[in-house]
Amino acid sequence: MKTIIEPFRIKVVEPIRMTTREERTHCIRETHYNLFGLNARDVLIDLLTDSGTSAMSSGQWAGIMRGDESYAGSESYYRFYDAVVDIMPFKHIIPTHQGRAAEKILFSVIGGEGKKIPNNTHFDTTRANVEFTGAEAVDLVIEEGKNPQTVHPFKGNMDVAGLREFIKETGAENIPCVMLTLTNNSGGGQPVSMQNIREVRSLCDEYELPLIIDACRFAENAYFIKLREEGYAGKSVKEIAREIFALADGCTMSAKKDALVNIGGFLCLNNDDWAMSARNLLILTEGFPTYGGLAGRDLEAIAIGLEEVLHEDYLQYRLRSTEYLGEKISAAGVPIVRPVGGHAVYIDAAAFLPHIPKAQFPGQSLAVELYVEGGIRGVEIGSVMFAGAAKMELVRLAIPRRVYTQSHIDYVIEVILEVNRRKDKLRGMKITWEPPVLRHFTAHFDYV
């Protein structure tokens, strides 16, 4: 098999500012060793997130010029609407400025004290929005999904037996919906199988519960199904995506991921009453229902992105380039969450730095070192982010879509392998200051 090349050529370039180790040592000290505090111009390869960081295509940029900025009933809204229902055949399509705005509106309508919402794993903003209403967010991913080293083709699957128990204990009347996050970001970007979605659907039918999909990375999930699940090799990714959404009653979407845009999101619903309440809330905080916090040009870019993201040469390159990074560092003995997920490689910092106890934040130490060594910015997902609730000590290297070439990734590999050679010298860290909530964004650190 020949090299899987980037299925695009570069029309516009964004220069990267080269920095020296001395400069980076200075910059990171200035931010008290918090990577969120860095000025992005001091970062060489930014793997902080795959959200809102995609490179748009020439087609999308052309669409931006075509954007119709009418307040109500803009043509761009109708193109957006058609593009969404082509894949996600729901009755109501409600644009929002990003994914969490869709979540905030949905849970304001269906959440509240005494309610519980199960999911394979709630993403942070989903959990926060559920809990903000007084409801409880419950994670029910399969056992394999909790262990970094356990290999399973669909590590994002819901524990269906666990879900049944949960429904019996909680009572269906206290569960406004069941959710599935595709792919499971918090568990390593792991996919959910069609069979699992079908099983969750039939359990929902049994108890008359709606199924809502967190669709952020639906295209990557659909391509994993094509590659890994029996009976799907011959289907197009679009057919697979349609099959997924036909099993659900609605979805929340961050267009900043699998719609290949820099801002945007939407909420889809079949339930007329929910949709009416959602639109009423939308008008309060986002805007009129045909633009929902977005410019007409953004809706246009989403419509085009949703079409492009299902191109199979794109998805093949996408999943392969993430896997390539994971494969190379894993072969050199760097422990990672396996198998590699769709949008990111997660280094298991606890296993990588066994001499640094959890209380001294091995993930933070590693993330800082990757920046000092090579200007790479990843993010700690462990005891800094979740304090005592952290189940794993990970450093996530999220790959922006269509942004970096193979030589950028080769460089990232070289930097990680260099840090690997002298990992015994890495030191633990302590927090010297922290805010009352969401400490990872602004906390100060120092070496112990």
Residues 186-245 that bind ligand F0G (CB under 6 A): 214, 216
- Name the residue nearer to ligand F0G (CB basis): 83 or 212: 212
Residue 156 CA to residue 189 CA, distance in Å, equals 8
Instruction: Kindly state whether residue 256 participates in binding ligand F0G, applying the rule CB under 6 A.
Output: yes
Cβ neighbours, 10 Å, residue 2: 4
If one asks whether residue 322 binds ligand F0G (CB under 6 A), the answer comes out as no
Indicate the residue among 293 and 375 with the shorter CB distance to ligand F0G: 293
Per CB under 6 A, 96 contacts ligand F0G: no
Q: Which of 100, 116, 226, 297 is in the footprint of ligand F0G by CB under 6 A?
A: 100
Tell me if 49 contacts ligand F0G by CB under 6 A: yes
Neighbours of 353 (CB within 10 A): 24
147 lines the binding site for ligand F0G (CB under 6 A): no
**Closest CB 120 distance from ligand F0G, rounded Å:** 10
Nearer to ligand F0G, 117 or 353 (CB): 117
Least distance (Å) from ligand F0G to the CB of residue 264?
8
Secondary structure class of 190 (helix, strand, coil)? strand
User: Using CB under 6 A, which of the segments 122-130, 195-203, 231-239, 303-311 binds ligand F0G?
Assistant: 122-130
Nearer to ligand F0G, 181 or 383 (CB): 181
| CA–CA distance, 355 with 360 (Å, rounded to integer) | 10
State how far Cα 199 lies from the chain centre. 24
Should residue 296 be labelled a site residue for ligand F0G when binding is judged by CB under 6 A? Answer: no
Which stretch of DSSP H or E encloses residue 261? none
Q: What angle do CA 168, 172, 178 make, to 5 degrees?
A: 100
The residue among 19, 51, 54, 52 whose CA lies nearest residue 371 is 19
- In sequence order, the β-bridge partners of residue 381 are 394
262 binds ligand F0G (CB under 6 A): no
CA distance 102 to 95: 8
Work out whether 99 is an interface residue with ligand F0G (CB under 6 A): yes
Identify whether the C-beta of residue 98 lies closer than 8 Å to the C-beta of residue 252. no
Interface residue list for ligand F0G (CB under 6 A): 49, 51, 98-100, 123, 125-126, 181, 185, 214, 216, 254, 256, 265
